[in-house]
Amino acid sequence: MKRIPTLLATLVLALGLASTDSVAANDARTPIHFGAIGWESGALTTEILRLIVEKGYGYPTDTLPGSTVSMEVALARNDLQVIAEEWAGRSPAWVRAEQAGQVFSLGDTVKNAEEGWWVPAYVVKGDPQRNLKPLAPDLRSVDDLKRYPQVFRDPESPDKGRFLNSPSGWTSETVNSQKLKAYGLDQQYVNFRSGSGAALDAEINSAIRRGQPVLFYYWSPTPLIGRHELIRLEEPPFDPDAWATLTDPRNTNPRGSRSLPAKLSIGVSAAFREQYPELVAAFAQVDLPIDRLNKALAHMNETRQPPRTAAQAFLRDNPAVWKAWVPAEVAAKVEAAL
């Protein structure tokens, strides 16, 4: 009696092996592994690049999920080959791998990507349609925040305002904490770490939905920026010396400055860079206009489009944008496949 299960198992195993064999025969090359980025702009960029690589160059691709840090580590070990949106120089893991020559950042994919402190526009201007009064009519810059801690009241310590910082562990969390000190707001505002990107998004969206005031750190390209009318608070112009005091958490006397303009690029592993020079050349040209990207992201988020569909729509709608990245015959192949 015992033989039958063994026989069955062998049969299943043989079938399994045979099927992998045939797949391997069909497709001799191993696919290029992209990091499956969870946030929207990263997901959209990933799919745009995958479409171009698959349709234009004919290489198979695949995605593997993971957190940012684990993807960066995987890239350094060449378990992943491409991370489509890398905020270069922001993560210690990335900086170390880049210095060791294990990973490379290509191009400057989204120019004018920005980060800063935002409030919904109705906090300043009001919204007659929703019957919302302007609660902070004179709020323009970070200095004006001193007058309005009560507007952004923190339920956990009601005598202070709440500033929604990014999750602890992000580089921006250090910068924002230092900025609070630099702008003289640390006594009036609670430096509230949101714990995770999902929690930050949920809190902001809930506040906007209910028409409540909220003060938060955010960045673009993101669906949130494309979707809602938000006001970015003015900060002193960028100054490299002041920026150095903001990025060092031990500096007790930070000075205010806008954040360093973020540089988004495509991260690739050293092996990928050697193996696919034509893709490296194309990736280095990638340039996504931020306003169109924000709009595409907002649409994708609102209609809950899968990133793949959104990427196809983006490529269809903006041929002039991506045709500049690749040679003409590749562009023709991609266009035919859309």
User: Of residues 58, 92, 184, 261, which one binds another protein by CB under 8 A?
Assistant: 92
* Strand pairing category for 82-87 and 264-269: antiparallel
The upper half-sphere exposure of residue 211, i.e. CA atoms within 13 Å in the direction of its Cβ, equals 12
Smallest CA-to-CA distance from 97 within 271, 336, 330, 302 is with 271
Q: Is 332 in the site for another protein (CB under 8 A)?
A: no
Residue 193 or residue 258: which is nearer to another protein going by CB? 193
Name the strand (E) or helix (H) holding 161: strand 161-165
**Residue 29 found at the interface with another protein (CB under 8 A):** no
Q: Is 130 in the site for another protein (CB under 8 A)?
A: no
Which of these, 37, 151, 31, 16, lies nearest to 79 by C-alpha position?
A: 31
Scanning 22-30, 90-98, 113-121, 277-285 for contacts with another protein by CB under 8 A, the matching segment is 90-98
What SS3 state is found at 106? strand
Residue type, 4: I
Q: How buried is residue 82: exposed, middle or buried, by Cβ count under 10 Å (0-12/13-18/19+)?
A: buried
What single-letter amino acid sits at 198? A
With contact defined as beta carbons under 8 Å apart, do 86 and 75 qualify?
no
**Residues 152-191: x/- map of binding to another protein (CB under 8 A)?**
---xxx------x--xxxx---------------------
The token pair at 84 is 């489509």
CB distance 266 to 89 below 8 Å = no
| 3 or 130: CB nearest another protein | 130
Closest CA to 330 of 51, 60, 34, 3: 51
Query: Whose Cβ is closer to another protein: residue 216's or residue 283's?
Result: 216
SS3 164: strand
What's the gap between Cα 55 and its chain centre? 25
Give the residue with the Cβ less far from another protein, 71 or 330: 71
Residues 295 and 73: beta-carbon distance below 8 Å: no
CA gap 25, 148 in Å, rounded: 67
List 118, 122, 192, 283, residue binding another protein (CB under 8 A): 192
Stretch that binds another protein, among 8-16, 41-49, 67-75, 274-282 (CB under 8 A): 67-75
Q: Which is nearer to another protein, 73 or 286 (CB)?
A: 73
Among 2, 3, 29, 210, binds another protein (CB under 8 A): 210
C-beta of residue 196 within 8 angstroms of C-beta of residue 265? no
Q: Write down the least CB distance from residue 326 to another protein, Å.
A: 26
Contact between 68 and another protein (CB under 8 A)? yes
Number of residues that bind another protein (CB under 8 A): 30
Q: Min. distance of Cβ 215 from another protein in angstroms? A: 13
- 119 sits in which H/E element: strand 115-120
38 binds another protein (CB under 8 A): no
- In the complex with another protein, the residue whose CB is nearer, 192 or 276, is 192
187 vs 196, which CB is nearer to another protein? 196
Q: Please give the backbone phi and psi of residue 22, each rounded to the nearest 5 degrees, phi first.
A: -65, -35
Least distance (Å) between residue 120 CB and another protein:
15
Among 7, 11, 14, 199, binds another protein (CB under 8 A): 199
* Of residues 89 and 236, the one with the C-beta less far from another protein: 89
Cβ closer to another protein: 175 or 290? Answer: 175
With binding defined as CB under 8 A, does residue 60 bind another protein? Answer: no
Residues that bind another protein (CB under 8 A): 67-69, 73, 91-93, 155-157, 164, 167-170, 192-196, 198-199, 202-203, 205-206, 209-210, 212, 304
